[in-house]
Amino acid sequence: MTWENWTIVSEFILVSFSTLSSELQALLFLLFLTICLVTLMGNVLIILVTTADSSLQNPMYFFLRNLSFLEIGFNLVIVPKMLGTLIIQDTAISFFGCATQMYFFFFFGAAECCLLATMACDRYVAICDPLHYPIIMSRRACAQLAAACWFSGFPVATVQTTWIFSFPFCGSNRVNHFFCDSPPVIALVCADTSLFELEALTATVLFILFPFLLILGSYVRILSTVFRMPSAEGKHKAFSTCSSQLLVVSLFYSTAILTYFRPRSSTSPESKKLLSLSYTVVTPVLNPIIYSLRNSEVKAALRRVIHRTLGPQKL
């Protein structure tokens, strides 16, 4: 294709769920709006409770607070624009807006992958090496690990977003997705993208597959240690502290791996949208529910915070 056939794209059109009827889009708007509000309130509640209650000032809940901040950011990057495409058919997004959305999607996604792996390592040390746990997972070490997780999002987001939006785009500006994800945007490029796709695959392996294998290895060792525990009460406590994260990790990674490691030809755009909904919309709302309802310490702390807040008003 020659330079004369390339056009300057000033905005993109998000196809989103425009193929559905207006009634179904209205129902999806109400559903996703409810999920968004529950996500924000649930994660804010976890941040407030784990900060306010003195019994939750340990590494596990420190990392959980960071996860909640990430989930809030992840949700705000994707959902508001998707709601606009559903209720007022605001499907246009500027070139800069698309790049910004993609940048923060990569940033929060990479940081969350690293943080989930860090949380698995924290549980591994707590269960498999409890005597050295206070030394290994000191306050300084936890702060450094959390900072490293947040910083990990910058290089992948900067490299991939800058590279993608430096390409020339064809005449079509219709992104067949509900947000500016890399595969549907790169499909509009009028240039050889093989080198970028190799880099993207490498980044995917580093930030999705490698953390997943690290988590898998940690929990194999954890389960091996738990099964050797002589006390049934000890086994139950260990399982209760790990089951919540295992459920979150399974939901997040299973859909992310299916989305980014399957060949393009084997997955339709509509099925990719459904898979993307799982880790961009469903998982963030399940995290606070799973970590609160399945965690007796969080529930007890929430009751104490509510009692301290409302108690004086009853006197």
Q: Enumerate the domain spans of the chain.
A: 11-298
Contacts 24+ apart (CB under 8 A), 63-67: 63/115, 63/118, 63/119, 63/122, 63/142, 63/145, 63/146, 64/119, 64/291, 66/115, 66/146, 66/149, 66/150, 67/112, 67/115, 67/116, 67/119, 67/287
Question: pLDDT-based confidence at 241, cuts 50/70/90?
Answer: low
Residue 169's DSSP bridge partners are 7, 189
Token pair 């003195």 is at which residue?
54
φ, ψ at 12 (rounded to 5°): -120, 160
Q: What does the pLDDT read at residue 177?
A: 87
Question: pLDDT-based confidence at 268, cuts 50/70/90?
Answer: low
Q: What does the pLDDT read at residue 151?
A: 94
**pTM of the full structure:** 0.86
Q: Does the pLDDT value for residue 126 go beyond 70?
A: yes
DSSP state letters, 270-302: HHHHHHHHIIIIIHHHHHHHHHHHT-HHHHHHH
Above pLDDT 70, what percent of the chain? Answer: 88
CA pair distance 308, 77, nearest whole angstrom = 34
Question: pLDDT-based confidence at 267, cuts 50/70/90?
Answer: low
Q: Does the pLDDT value for residue 21 go beyond 80?
A: yes
Q: What is the 3-state secondary structure (H, E, C) of 21-48?
A: CHHHHHHHHHHHHHHHHHHHHHHHHHHH
Superfamily of structural domain 11-298: Rhodopsin 7-helix transmembrane proteins (1.20.1070.10)
Token pair 């070139």 is at which residue?
95
CA pair distance 74, 177, nearest whole angstrom = 17
Q: What is the mean pLDDT of residues 40-47?
A: 90
CA pair distance 5, 7, nearest whole angstrom = 7
Question: pLDDT-based confidence at 208, cuts 50/70/90?
Answer: confident
CA pair distance 311, 249, nearest whole angstrom = 37
**3-17, 73-87, 100-114 — which is least confidently predicted?**
3-17
Burial annotation 215-254 (CB, 10 A radius, 16+ → b, else e): beebbeebeebbeeeeeeeeeeebeebbebbbebbebbbe
Q: What is the mean pLDDT of residues 154-177?
A: 88
